[in-house]
Amino acid sequence: MMNLQAIVNYLESNLVQEDVNQAAILLTLLENGGRATKQNLIESMMPYNPHMQLYFEHSLARVMTLHLAEQAMFTYDEVNQHYFLNSSMEDTFLIEQAIRLLHEHLNQWRNGQEAHRSDQVIVSEVLGKLVRDNIPAIIREDGRVPLVERVSGQDLQAKLYEKLTEEHLELLLRPNLDEIADVMEVLIGIGKMMGYSETEILQARQTRRDQRGSFDEGFVLTSVVRPK
């Protein structure tokens, strides 16, 4: 059985920034008493790889087989379909130390992704989707050649509604100011398709706010009672 100190040593010496899947898996095991289902571990990787379930399963198999298994860190119970960390979970100090190291690692990975996000255009994720007007020029500046087609009328409106769904999901996965701005830009684009200027849209928002309020108080309507 591998002791917790060996896991801490591994985290301090062998885990590199790109090993986000390993970090997510180990953190889930440590925070759940040393055991987790296959689905638990797949879900632990989802915030860092929000794509297909098949990809998660492939990543899980690869990380478990090629990396963590080499360190003899886990055992898989095929009958109960659980992964078990090959370590005693009695030393709470070392558990807390390992969890702290893993949180630091994942935060560094997130910060690195955020720092480079504005400079990256991931073509595989945007093909066939509506993109901001400057994206083709950004791709050219990067030495690549974008092939684009322009849509208008009902086709543009359909693409904007599709984009709204996409940006809403992005906001749920990565709640930050940039994602809020993206959602607002799409909404303004939809408004313009309906014949409203950006000024009119923002004014209508203010009018609705003045008349009906905002959502700052967090009221949730549970029932309405008519007095007798």
Where the chain has pLDDT below 70, the residues are 1-2, 16-18, 49-71, 81, 113-127
- Sign of dihedral through CA atoms 125, 130, 135, 136? positive
H helix runs in the chain, sequence order:
4-13, 20-31, 38-45, 53-63, 92-117, 123-126, 135-141, 153-173, 177-193, 198-212
pLDDT at 113: 67
pTM: 0.47
pLDDT at 186: 95
* 4-115 is classed CATH 3.40.50: no
pLDDT at 213: 96
Classify residue 56 by burial, with Cβ atoms within 10 Å: 0-12, 13-18, 19+: buried
What would the pLDDT profile of 84-110 be if each residue is shown by its tens digit? Answer: 787 878 888 888 888 888 888 888 877
pLDDT at 207: 96
The domains of the chain are located at 4-115, 123-211
- State the Cα–Cα distance between residues 24 and 16, nearest whole angstrom: 13
- State the Cα–Cα distance between residues 95 and 89, nearest whole angstrom: 7
